[in-house]
Amino acid sequence: MTLAGHCKICQQNVFLDDSWGCVNGHDWTQIEGWYDADTGQPFVPEWAVQVTQDPPPPVSTPVPQAVPAPEPEPVPEPEPPVDPVEAMRGVLMDRLAAINLTIANDDGVLSVSRGDDYSAAIAVQESGEILLWERLVTGVDPGARDLVRAVASEGGWRVRVALRRENVMG
C-alpha cells in the first residue's frame, strides 16, 4: 500500500516516507488527510487513532441545566482523492529542482533542462508508468535519470527511458 497525505508545509498532497512524514523531509505532525494512494481511500494508522482518542480533561465547573446543548458542527466535506499522476509530477518537479534543473509543466509533460547541455521530457501516465526521454549534448549527466528511477520505485511506478548522447566528451 502506497500512502500519501496533505503536507501543511508543502501545501500539497505528497507521498509519505517510512516514518509517516512527507518525502520532502517534513515530519508526520505536518501531515493530515492520510490516504492510500493506490485506491484513494482514507487511511488512519492505529497509533494516530490512539493519539486522537485520548479523553478530554475533566471539567471542574458544573453546567447549568437551562443551557441548551450546542448545535453539532457540520461535518466537513471530504477532500477529493488526490490524483496519483499529479502527486507524482509534483514530487518529480520538487526533486528535479533540488538538483538545479529547470522544470516546466507543459500540458502534463515535464520539460527539464540544464542550459543547452541537457534536456529531457517526462510523462507520468495513469497506467503507473513514467516515460523519460533524455538528450545529453555535452558535459556530465545531471543525474535526472537516476532520480526519476528512485522516486518511481518509492511509489511503485515503472520507468521507461530513451537516451540520446551527442558530442559527449569524456
**Count H helices, E strands: the chain?**
3, 8
Assess whether 42 and 89 both reside in one domain: no
Report d(CA 123, CA 138) in Å as an integer: 24
Assess whether 91 and 39 both reside in one domain: no
Q: What is the mean pLDDT of residues 20-27?
A: 88
How big is the chain, counted in residues? 170
C-alpha cell at 29: 505532525
Decide: 144 and 4 in contact? Cβ < 8 Å. Answer: no
Question: DSSP letter at 113?
Answer: E
Cell 507524482 identifies what position? 88
The answer as to whether 67 is a domain residue is: no
Q: Could you read off the pLDDT of 110-132 as tens digits, one per residue? A: 999 999 899 999 999 999 999 99
Query: Which residues 6+ apart lie within 8 Å of 143 measured at CB?
Result: 99
The answer as to whether 71 is a domain residue is: no
The answer as to whether 89 is a domain residue is: yes
Assess whether 48 and 101 both reside in one domain: no
Assess whether 160 and 88 both reside in one domain: yes
- Report which of 29, 50, 41 is spatially closest to residue 79, judged by C-alpha positions: 41
pLDDT of residue 168: 44
pLDDT band at 170 (very low <50, low <70, confident <90, very high): very low
Assess whether 88 and 47 both reside in one domain: no
CATH of the domain at 140: 3.30.310
The answer as to whether 77 is a domain residue is: no
Range(s) of the domain holding residue 19: 3-52
* Overall domain count for the chain: 2
Assess whether 28 and 92 both reside in one domain: no
